[in-house]
Structure formats: structure tokens, C-alpha cells
Structure 1
Amino acid sequence: MQATDKHGAQMRGAPRIKVFQPAVLRCGAGAPKRVHLLNVSTGGALVYGDSPPNVGTQVQLACGISLGSARVQWSSGRRFGVAFARPIGPAEIEAIVSLQDDLIEVIPPAAIPAR
């Protein structure tokens, strides 16, 4: 059971790190789907995808590294939250951030439109 603050809002057990990381989501034997991680913590992630799985669905997530099994906790529009079956460690979070940094570094400056 998650703790709540004095206003009844759920308090997170671990800090969330904002990312925009491409990932692959699998639901059972279904075809893999491309999604994006929007934030990640040791206990779960905020995910964005075209067709989110139903709440309660067990999924597998990977984004260059396997994040293992997770359960969909909530869904709203194209966003959904997952709780990892086994918490990931700080090293895995650092690897996700590093992968994202690597993607940014390979984009040549000329490919970024001027404003």
C-alpha cells in the first residue's frame, strides 16, 4: 500500500527520472510494440504508446536493456504507469540515461531545425 500525503495524494517510494527513451513493450505472446519511457524509477515507469494495455496486464519492457516484467497500474489516454515486478537498480537507471544521451549525441547539429 502506498503512503499518502496530508491531502490524500499518493507519495512515490522512489524519485522519478525524466527521460524520452524509445522502448519495446511485449504483452504475452503478442507482437512487440514501440513505446516511449517518459520517466523511470527503481519501482516503475511512465510509458507512452499508441494503444496502452489494460490495467492489470503483465508486460515485458526493454530499451536497450531489459527492464523485466511489469504490471500496468493505471492508464489514461496514451499514457500508462507500470510497476516493475522486481525493482531495477540505480545502474539500470544510469544505463537508460546513458542510452538517451548516446541518441542525442548521434544527431548532427545540422539535422536540428532552427527556430
Structure 2
Amino acid sequence: MTTRWRDRLWVVLVILVVGLVVAGAGVLVAVAELENADKIASVIGAAAGVLGLVVSGASAVQARRLRPGPPRAALAEGEPDAPAASPGVRDVSMHAEATDDARIYQAGGDMTINDR
């Protein structure tokens, strides 16, 4: 199975499970008396809130892990104990200033403007 099909399968399974849970909760609330339905809805709301907090925390941790650090070439400059720069990595620093209707084009590598 390719990754694309696995991802689609997970999405379909999650949609089915969530749909069944919501339908089951709806039937349970519809069958129960008003006071019991209120209690059930409160518990479902609290569980949804806790689940949302857990998903939010997991997403924040994953985003923090995937955030790129400073380029290795920048660390290697002027630091004797720094690791050597990886091939193809370079430290680029740019500054530009424009007045009136001027345009400024900046790139950290090769760049083509107007087919030139």
C-alpha cells in the first residue's frame, strides 16, 4: 500500500468512527429523559473539550519538533567547536532599502527576473 492510500484509509476510518460515535450519542440522548440527556450531553462536551486539548498539545509538540534550527554553516563561522557545514548549505544575510515606487528583488540563490 502506498502512503497516499494509507492516508485516505485513515481519513475514511476516522470519519466512520466519529460518525458512529455522534450517531450513537444522538440516539442515546433522544431515548433518555430530559434530565439524563442533559447529564449525558455535559459528559460528552467535557470529553470533547479534553480531547481537543490533547490534540492541540500533541500538534504543538509535533510542530516544535519539525521547526528547523539555524543553518549549520552559520554555526560553523567563528566557533571552533561548531560542527562542520553540510554540503550545499550556506548562510545568507540580506538587507534592502527602497524609496518611492522602487521594486526590490532578493533571493538566497539563483534567480530569474523577466526571462533575463
Give TM-score, length-normalised by structure 1.
Answer: 0.26
- Of structures 1 and 2, the one scoring higher in RCO (CA 8 A, sep 6+) is 1
**Structure showing the higher helix proportion among its residues:** 2
Counting strand residues as a fraction of each chain, which structure ranks higher?
Answer: 1
TM-score calculated relative to the size of structure 2: 0.26
